[in-house]
Amino acid sequence: MKHLSIIYSFLVITFLFSCTKENNEFISENSVAASKSLYTSYTTGSAADVSTSTLPGLVLMGGGTDVDAAIKWMLLRSGGGDIVVIRSSGSNGYNNYMNKLATVNSVESIIIDSRTKAMIPEIAQKIKNAEALFIAGGDQWDYVNYWKNTPVEDAINYLINTKRVTVGGTSAGLAILGSDYFSAQAGTVVSADALSNPYNSFMALGHSDFIASPNLLNTITDSHYSQRGRQGRHIAFMARMMQDYAMSNVKGIGVDEQTAVCIDENGIGKVFGLNAAYFMNNSGLGPETCVSGSSLTWNRSTQAISTYKIQASATGNGYFNSNTWLNFSGGVGYFNYVVNGTL
């Protein structure tokens, strides 16, 4: 009987230990699942974080089909590290695409579609750990509304200004990269409406309060440029910048679809892809008429906006110095001006 009692006690202890172990594993698995359920992300490649030698830069892509050469340029500057893609909609469309273009440790796409998710420390840390960051297309108001004044904004600026890695964006992802930006809070705006009244209700602009890139100081970007006839509204944005913020000099970079401007660690840019990029700089004299309810006039003896157009190529064409905005090459220069709302 004594031997039976010992055997029974051993079986009970073994059973309890087994239950405890299984219960601990269940709790552990549930904790991971709970963490993952707070947001959606997709990882291709290694889950282990690496640290590599990187180069700073910007990829300004105009939307439409992505420019392979520009994306590869960004990936190579990561030193084979971890690539993070952030967006407010969609899924993992960039993962396999980027993973095949260059050898990298991982590509992770993170969906940040609310301010609540933008406040999750883990997401901000994933961005900070990246050796390159790409902001997908979508709706720039979502990006401003969800990410501005959150740890996500801080993490993006950390990558640009402290860690100094290459950061890029396409379409809406491009629209938020300048120091000034069209937020699209009330929806989009077409050139005709912007020029006929630069203070119409759709002209929602942000100024020096979101992404802070030294290469895009006093600069507003725009995408889908020629395809959607956006040069007129872009000039209206620039006129508002001068009028509203007493800026003595403003700049604009407009990028066509299937086209990208890549700016390296020295501030030198080239244009990759199929179409063109436009670099606009004002003459130092602001608009003659820029008031609510009236058509824009920015003439200045037909030399209001100095514009330089660079045609893209597969290997990168032209020369653009984002530090000085002088000595362009590889394109053609001309002036834009507006009289009574007509470009």
pLDDT, tens digit, for every residue of 217-232? 999 999 999 999 999 9
What is residue 21's predicted lDDT score, i.e. its pLDDT? 31
Tell me the CA end-to-end span of the chain in Å, nearest whole number.
104
Residue type, 219: T
What is residue 10's predicted lDDT score, i.e. its pLDDT? 38
Close Cβ partners of 15 (under 8 Å, ≥ 6 residues apart): none
Percent of the chain with pLDDT over 90: 88
Tell me which of 1 and 110 has the higher pLDDT: 110
User: What digits encode the pLDDT tens for the residues 22-54?
Assistant: 333 222 222 233 345 699 999 999 999 999 999
What is residue 36's predicted lDDT score, i.e. its pLDDT? 52
Sign of the alpha-carbon dihedral angle for 253, 258, 264, 269: negative
